[in-house]
Amino acid sequence: MSAFSPSIASDDAPTSASQDKGVLAPNPVAGIDQTRGDFTYDVEYEYDAGVGLSEATVRYISQVKKEAPWLLDFRLKALKKFESMPLPTHWATKDLENIHFDKIRYYLAQGQKPKRTWDEVPDDIKETFERLGIPEQERKFLAGVEAQFDSEAAYSNIKSIVAKQGVIFVNSTEGLREHPELFRKFFGKVIPTGDNKFAALNSAVFSGGSFIYVPPGVKVAQPLQAYFRINAENFGQFERTLIIADEGAEVDYMEGCTAPKFSTSTLHSAVVELVALKGAKIRYITVQNWANNVFNLVTKRGLAHEEAEIKWIDCNIGSRLTMKYPGVILRGRKARGEVISIALANDGQHQDTGAKMVHAADETTSNIISKSISVGQGRATYRGLVQMGKGLKGCKNNTECDALLINTNSRTDTYPAITVRGDKHATQHEASVSKVSEELIFYMQQRGLTEAQAMSLSVNGFINDLASQFPMEYSVELKRLIDLEMEGSVG
């Protein structure tokens, strides 16, 4: 099981009916069940900023965190920027108008300091993360793990062998306090406060998230993981993550996200900044399994210096609306950026996802591969931006967007924007939309599969090449989740 795949079924989870028929091999890993994340606990919060957003809210957050004056000033300027900016209209949907910022709770925490041992974690929070499999994965193969519950990290730990290499892995609050010079050097430089309205909101009220620094030449052998859990109703989670890989360093970071289903809307608006210095490599893997009342509005961007590589691997499942376009600014010669994404939109869901690649140096390379699945009345949208600046030469981009429609009422849209200037560049764009073949479904049914099992097999085949990009445990669980999604998609 994996905490990274946010909702984990227990060992006695139901297996695919096709196993009884001897048609498919048994799944070696218990599958994910989206409803497994749908639970909550009554929590007594020590810190509560109340409902609504104002200067008093921002000052409260900064005060309880005991922040330096410069950071309070940063937050207050961001608040003014947020208030002055309209909701996005270009890369956006009208559904954003249903977010009521005055009804959201912007800061809730049981305490300020994360626990360093599992036994110290409060029982109710511990039970949450135990149900989601985090301790098991920490013991198995993680170099470090952080578990955020609402606004703050409840647990944070890094293996001693990794810490001895000089790797820093703490939450953002600790990073600002304990490593201010390193943090401030890159904080807000990849994604400025005014980048968009939700980046401004995050800059004003951010709390939690990860800060990672990998020293020159250090290659972290095992992945680092963060897990973000929303427990409270009418809540907004605004983590801020900054990862710096120094020259020649390499690191894999994985995050998982869940929230219970409430009758009211929940907001998740994170900012993630990656910096890969000369020859460094960062791989950032996300699996989200939000409840369908969550607005997931995230800004993620990396800065790749000479011969550096930044790779985003993204799986978007659940939420009412997701708007997420991981990007890379290819600043150094021969830098490389890649976005591999899978999106699944079911009834009442809109997965508005894509990628941004900005070529700002010679001989830079970018690769975008996106696959989406629309089920029932779900909607999937791909939005892409590729720019090759004037005066550059020898840049390459490949963009592939493939969409699969399961039902007649499902919808998919593709909006690519590719701007090429300069000399001797190579770009290619391919997009396809297809439906599950009725003939293929009929053929598989003749071989003993039910219609739902045949549909699952077709969809898993559609995403198989991208699922293989995930670590093995997660790709298997991702396929199992597709099985669960498909169970109600036919008939």
Cβ pair 268, 237 in contact under 8 A: yes
Q: Pseudo-torsion of CA 173, 176, 179, 184, nearest 10°?
A: 150
Has residue 466 been placed in a domain? yes
* pLDDT score for 29: 27
pLDDT class of 366 with cuts at 50, 70, 90: very high
How far apart, in whole angstroms, are the C-alpha atoms of residue 355 and residue 351?
A: 13
**Number of domains comprising the chain:** 1
How far apart, in whole angstroms, are the C-alpha atoms of residue 491 and residue 62?
A: 53
Has residue 161 been placed in a domain? no
Instruction: Give residue 246's region: left, alpha or beta (phi > 0; psi -120 to 50).
Output: beta
**In the structure encoding, which two tokens stand for residue 32, read together?**
């994910």
Has residue 21 been placed in a domain? yes
Cβ pair 38, 261 in contact under 8 A: yes
Q: Is residue 24 scored above 80 in pLDDT? A: no
Q: Compute CA distances 196 → 228, 302, 304, whole Å.
A: 23, 16, 21
Q: Is residue 331 scored above 50 in pLDDT? A: yes
How far apart, in whole angstroms, are the C-alpha atoms of residue 348 and residue 376?
A: 9
pTM of the model: 0.85
Q: Lowest-pLDDT range, 112-116, 174-178, 181-185, 420-424?
A: 112-116
Has residue 39 been placed in a domain? no
Has residue 398 been placed in a domain? no
b/e for 257-292, b at 16 or more Cβ within 10 A? Answer: bbbbbbeebbbbbbbbbbbbbbbbbbbbbbbbbbbe
Has residue 459 been placed in a domain? yes
Cβ pair 39, 6 in contact under 8 A: no
**CB neighbours of residue 340 within 10 Å:** 23
Has residue 37 been placed in a domain? no
Has residue 451 been placed in a domain? yes
Q: Lowest-pLDDT range, 113-127, 244-258, 320-334, 352-366?
A: 113-127
**CB neighbours of residue 420 within 10 Å:** 16
Q: Which of 41-55, 165-179, 258-272 has the highest mean pLDDT?
A: 165-179
Q: What residue numbers bound the domain in which 472 lies?
A: 1-32+440-491
Cβ pair 215, 165 in contact under 8 A: yes
pLDDT tens-digit series, residues 213-259: 999 999 998 889 888 878 777 888 899 999 999 999 999 998 877 66
Instruction: Give residue 468's region: left, alpha or beta (phi > 0; psi -120 to 50).
Output: alpha
* pLDDT score for 476: 60
Cβ pair 486, 455 in contact under 8 A: yes
